[in-house]
Amino acid sequence: MENYFKDKSFIVTGASSGIGRALSILLAQEGANVAIMARTESKLEQLKAGLGKDLLIVPGDVTSQEDCKNVVQATIDSYGKLDGLIHNAGVSMRATAAETRVQTYRKLMEVNFFSMVFLFQEALAQIEKTKGHIVAVSSMMGRYSTQERSGYNASKHALQGFMNSVRLEIMDKGIHVMVASPGFVKTSGSLNALTADGTPYGKMDSAISGGLDPKKAAQIILSGIEHRKRDVFPGGPKEKLGLFLSKWAPSMLDKTLVKSKIK
């Protein structure tokens, strides 16, 4: 990645923790200009102070179209251009489909899917000028599904489908479109996951606590950006086996997942 990101301008959403935080740090260390977005300004301030490098802090909620417009405009105002959007913000769930309330499903779709629509439409014209990058951090659950994640799976499948269409529609503009589909990564994802009524799950799943280091996931994503890959799959062997089975032996995958511990 030496020198590739130097002086390029990127937006990273969900930057206050996990993969988004790791991406922001690595981009800054590579010499990029980074606009970081998350709801909690104090966490963004902590990231900036801890890194010791200048970052553009843009507090905001990705479910707000106005906030998505604001982060794009703030980046242009500060850096004069936009070379890449990495949309990492998202939320998971822990509940069966039968017990999950409709408003919880709506929240999942707002955070995980509609936010990408907002950001894409606001950023497209600017990224076209630089022939830059549009990246969605999705999940292996955008490729195949597990139990107790129905709304999360649905939102990530929607995100995957949206990005696949976008790629075709703007291919002639020279813009790179990539989807990163991580498996288990050691983040606060399960702590913040929604339960059936929309309240936080508040527990750390063993699969996540033993997952890939966020820095490693971020390195894979940035390498994919540099080499303009279509997809990258940061994750462990179990999740990648699931991806393989989902394509070639889906019934076998179903039987395996039913017997598997997913928390």
Q: Reply yes or no on whether 79 is catalytic.
A: no
The DSSP line for the chain is -TTTSTT-EEEEESTTSHHHHHHHHHHHHTT-EEEEEES-HHHHHHHHHHHTS--EEEE--TT-HHHHHHHHHHHHHHHS---EEEE-----B-S-TTT--HHHHHHHHIIIIIHHHHHHHHHHHHHHHHT-EEEEE--GGGTS--TT-HHHHHHHHHHHHHHHHHHHHTGGGT-EEEEE---SBSSSHHHH-B-TTS-B-----HHHHTSB-HHHHHHHHHHHHHTT-SEE----HHHHHHHHHHHH-HHHHHHHHHHS---
Q: Which of 79, 105, 144, 152 is catalytic?
A: 152
Active site residues: 152
